[in-house]
Amino acid sequence: MTSRSDIPVLLRGVSKRFGSTTAVNALDLEVGRAQVLALLGPNGAGKTTTVEMCEGFLRPDAGTIEILGLDPTTDNAALRERIGVMLQGGGGYPAARAAEMLNLVAAYSANPLDPAWLMDTLGLTEAGRTTYRRLSGGQQQRLALACAVVGRPELVFLDEPTAGMDAHARIVVWELIDGLRRDGVTVVLTTHQLTEAEQLADQLVIIDHGVAVARGTPAELMNQGSENQLRFTAPPQLDLTLLVSALPEDYKATERAPGEYLVEGQIDPQVLATVTAWCARLDVLATDMRVDRRSLEDVFLDLTGRELRP
């Protein structure tokens, strides 16, 4: 197998079954260097299974995985030296203090980040002497993130990096992930938070029932199909026949609710001009005129018929 070192994360036709459940089904992924890939999907979609196969914790039943040109299962030791991993739910010696745990992981690296600085940055200094067992969920999460990046990895896997964090901590973590990308680190993260995916990801893959149902940049996904609807508000019960005849064939114009109008069809500047001209002829002012941008939530609902929130 040729290794493509310019593609740090490469999955081809990867499947994983647990008993009769197919957790991941024929998944392809590709992440370029210094890119952030977000795997977006509800709980049980197969995000963690995918990430754990990339980390070498699970062996795929079918397909190939190349991480930094290495097979995560057979070249596991070599891979682990180069990646940083934030496991879902963290992990640590229950009786070790937070600072001890981070110092331990830092000691595995020849040139780690300064653990004390990292603790301070993530607001963990005060919890430094608290045992892992007694840390709050959010503190355990932040410590797990610190453990993932302290060794200056070239690729990090972050499983639900901001789950259980308050808004302030979340912003710090977003900046940190943004900083990782800026400094050349490749990031694979899972999330079921739309804003997080939208904020951070260069590439977004929406997973449902182990299948990639959509992929692209956040903007691409949100614009998909959205140019087909123009909405505006105007006085109720306007005569639409003139408008429909002025529009190209196959276009539809309807009054969805009193005063709420919808034009369906390829919306381009010409169509927009036609609509405003029609308003001018009727001497009415159209307000709230907008070409719909769908939210990721809409995209997800359209694709899967499921709510994203667990």
Partner 1 sequence: MTNRFAPGTFSPDPRPATVPRMLAAQFGLELKLLLRNGEQLLLTMFIPITLLIGLVLLPIGSSFGTNRVATFVPAIMALAVISTAFTGQAIAVAFDRRYGALKRLGATALPVWGIITGKSLAVVTVVFLQSILLGAIGFALGWRPSAAGLLLGAVIIALGTAVFAALGLLLGGTLKAELVLAIANLLWFVFAGLGALTLGAGMVPPGAEWAARLTPSGALTEALSHAMTLSVDWFGIAVLVAWGAFGSIAALRWFRFT
Q: Which of 41, 90, 115, 218 binds partner 1 (CB under 8 A)?
A: 90
Which is nearest to 38 in space by CA: 156, 130, 151? 156
212 is a contact residue toward partner 1 (CB under 8 A): no
Q: What sign does the dihedral 34-155-215-41 (CA atoms) show?
A: negative
Distance CA 98, CA 73 (A): 30
Three-state secondary structure call for residue 145 = helix
Contacts of 256 by beta carbon, 8 Å cutoff, 6+ apart: 262
Distance CA 144, CA 139 (A): 8
Which is nearest to 39 in space by CA: 238, 236, 204? 204
Contacts of 28 by beta carbon, 8 Å cutoff, 6+ apart: 11, 12, 13, 14, 212
Nearer to partner 1, 198 or 208 (CB): 198
Q: Which of 184, 258, 269, 305 binds partner 1 (CB under 8 A)?
A: 184
Nearer to partner 1, 10 or 177 (CB): 177
91 is a contact residue toward partner 1 (CB under 8 A): yes
149 is a contact residue toward partner 1 (CB under 8 A): yes
Q: Which of 46, 60, 128, 153 binds partner 1 (CB under 8 A)?
A: 153
Distance CA 82, CA 62 (A): 25
Nearer to partner 1, 6 or 249 (CB): 6
Site for partner 1 (CB under 8 A): how many residues? 50
17 is a contact residue toward partner 1 (CB under 8 A): no
Distance CA 185, CA 291 (A): 37
- Minimum Å gap between C-beta 81 and partner 1 is 4
Token pair in block for residue 32: 């370029």
Distance CA 19, CA 230 (A): 48
Q: Which of 26, 163, 176, 272 binds partner 1 (CB under 8 A)?
A: 176
- Minimum Å gap between C-beta 109 and partner 1 is 6
Q: Which of 27, 31, 70, 83 binds partner 1 (CB under 8 A)?
A: 83
Q: Which residues bind partner 1 (CB under 8 A)?
A: 55, 57, 77, 80-85, 87, 89-96, 100, 103-105, 107-111, 113, 121, 132-133, 144, 147, 149, 151-154, 172, 174-176, 178-180, 182-185, 199
